[in-house]
Amino acid sequence: MTYASLSLTLIFVLIPLLLSKTLKLGLEKDTLIATIRSIIQLLAVGYILKFVFDAQSYLYIFLMVALMIIVATLNARKKGKGIKGITWKIALTLIVVEFVTQGVLLGFDIVPATAQYIIPISGMMIGNSMVLSVLFLNRFTSEIASHQNDIELILSLGGTPKQAIHRQLMNAIKASMIPTIESQKTIGLVQLPGMMSGQIIGGADPIQAVQFQLLIIFALLTAATLSSIMIGFLSYPALFNERMQLLEGK
């Protein structure tokens, strides 16, 4: 694809801009900002990845993965501002997800230990974990706010913080995992995933593309489960003080 043909795809940006203007949705500015940022960020990443792939240095691979984790952490923590230590808890979760998924893939020699495989797969795992963390924190804070009286009642009757918040914690974990599970139920029937589609467009054998896509969706399932559970069990103790009382405003 040439830059000239790529520029024609801006038609897909003009359509939502015109509709937003016509219906007075007020999304024109955000749409333009999102478009400009995506162009700049993706082009910059493209050149960086080309350099890293050519260098084949494990130091550069580590730095790229570390940058992904840092950016994902800073983005996800916005939903958990009221939870003490949420930044390091999200970072630890993302690191564990990365170690587990890459440990299986590289440890069993499922994929080669090269930048071409490690960085894109890490990006998918970390990005998915970031979204799951945001979904969990958003649902968890809502659950606590709407069931604060129930939680305090259990505490007043002698229940532990874990017992008092168990139902809300489980509900938030389940809710954050549902999108991943549901999307896998219809994968291949309703949608052809991005990685698989990209390989097919690039000329890869469809069966091989399917095999790689299965690898990714299975790894994403583990990433989703680890993310929701780790964030949940790391976060809930910070909602209570040393006297096992629910902190105000939680």
Q: What is the pLDDT of residues 47-80, one digit of tens each?
A: 998 998 888 899 999 999 999 999 999 989 888 8
Q: Summarize the confidence of residues 1-19 as an average pLDDT.
A: 87
Whether residue 64 is found in the same domain as residue 50: no
Query: In a 10 Å sphere around its CB, with 0-12 CB exposed, 13-18 middle and 19+ buried, how is residue 221 labelled?
Result: middle
Distance of alpha carbon 195 from alpha carbon 64, whole angstroms: 20
Beta carbons of 134 and 141 less than 8 angstroms apart:
no
Whether residue 26 is found in the same domain as residue 136: no
Question: 128: pLDDT confidence band, cut at 50, 70 and 90?
Answer: very high
- 169 lies in which domain range? 57-239
The mean pLDDT value of the chain amounts to: 89
Rg (CA), the chain: 21
In this predicted structure, the answer to whether residue 3 has a pLDDT above a threshold of 80 is no
In this predicted structure, the answer to whether residue 190 has a pLDDT above a threshold of 80 is no
- Asked whether residue 45 is assigned to any structural domain, the reply reads yes
In this predicted structure, the answer to whether residue 248 has a pLDDT above a threshold of 70 is no
Whether residue 42 is found in the same domain as residue 91: no
- Asked whether residue 248 is assigned to any structural domain, the reply reads no
User: Smallest Cα–Cα separation from 92: which of 186, 226, 182, 188?
Assistant: 226
Q: Summarize the confidence of residues 234-245 as an average pLDDT.
A: 86
